[in-house]
């Protein structure tokens, strides 16, 4: 540990642009572990902890769940096989994002149509949006974003 930069939980959180509660949460989830503890019980983190925390934050911005991120962290070894696995996971995430975009475009189109119908309503005491939702249900045929097993 000598010569290596260490961080308290507060300094680590600040360096990674997260709050202390986030660091503690990632610890509880098993994504992050303190490098050591002082005699006083305070957590001590190393530079690898900072890299890991920044990786988690960046992966979350790409839409990866904590479970997926933990899986990616397990694939950090530098080999072609591991890289192929990471690429496959990123490709899966890309497909998931495309499905979400497709669904959001459908929602946008539907809402635009409803707003347009509302603006040109012919019955004064009737809201076409409420009426459409009540009568048509506008229910999706299947779950928009299926849960992963």
pLDDT interval class at 143 (50, 70, 90): very low
Which has the minimum average pLDDT: 36-50, 55-69, 74-88? 74-88
The residue that leads in pLDDT, 36 or 106, is 106
Cα dihedral 108, 112, 113, 116, rounded to 10, equals 170
Residue 4 has pLDDT above 80, yes or no: no
Residue 142 has pLDDT above 70, yes or no: no
Nearest CA-CA partner of 74 in 24, 16, 31: 31
Residue 22 has pLDDT above 60, yes or no: yes
pTM: 0.67
For residues 52 and 73, the answer to whether their CB atoms sit within 8 Å is: yes
Nearest CA-CA partner of 50 in 37, 75, 24, 32: 32
CA distance 77 to 27: 22
Three-state SS at 60: helix
Residue 33 has pLDDT above 70, yes or no: yes
* Cβ neighbour number for residue 58 with a 10 Å cutoff: 12
How many helices (H) does the chain have, and how many strands (E)? 6, 3
Q: Give the rounded percent of residues in the chain with a pLDDT score beyond 90.
A: 50
Three-state SS at 30: coil
Residue 65 has pLDDT above 70, yes or no: yes
């Amino acid at each position: 540990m000598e010569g290596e930069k260490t961080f308290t939980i507060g300094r680590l959180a600040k360096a990674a642009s997260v709050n202390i509660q986030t660091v503690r949460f990632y610890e509880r989830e098993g994504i992050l572990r303190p490098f050591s503890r002082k005699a006083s019980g305070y957590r001590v983190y190393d530079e690898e902890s900072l890299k890991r925390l920044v990786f988690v934050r960046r992966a979350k911005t790409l839409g990866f769940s904590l479970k997926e991120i933990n899986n990616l962290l397990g694939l950090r070894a530098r080999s072609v096989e591991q890289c192929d696995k990471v690429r496959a996971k990123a490709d899966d995430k890309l497909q998931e994002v495309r499905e979400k975009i497709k669904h959001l475009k459908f929602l946008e189109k539907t809402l635009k149509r409803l707003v347009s119908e509302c603006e040109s309503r012919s019955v004064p005491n009737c809201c076409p949006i409420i009426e459409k939702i009540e009568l048509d249900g506008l229910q999706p045929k299947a779950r928009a974003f299926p849960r992963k097993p």
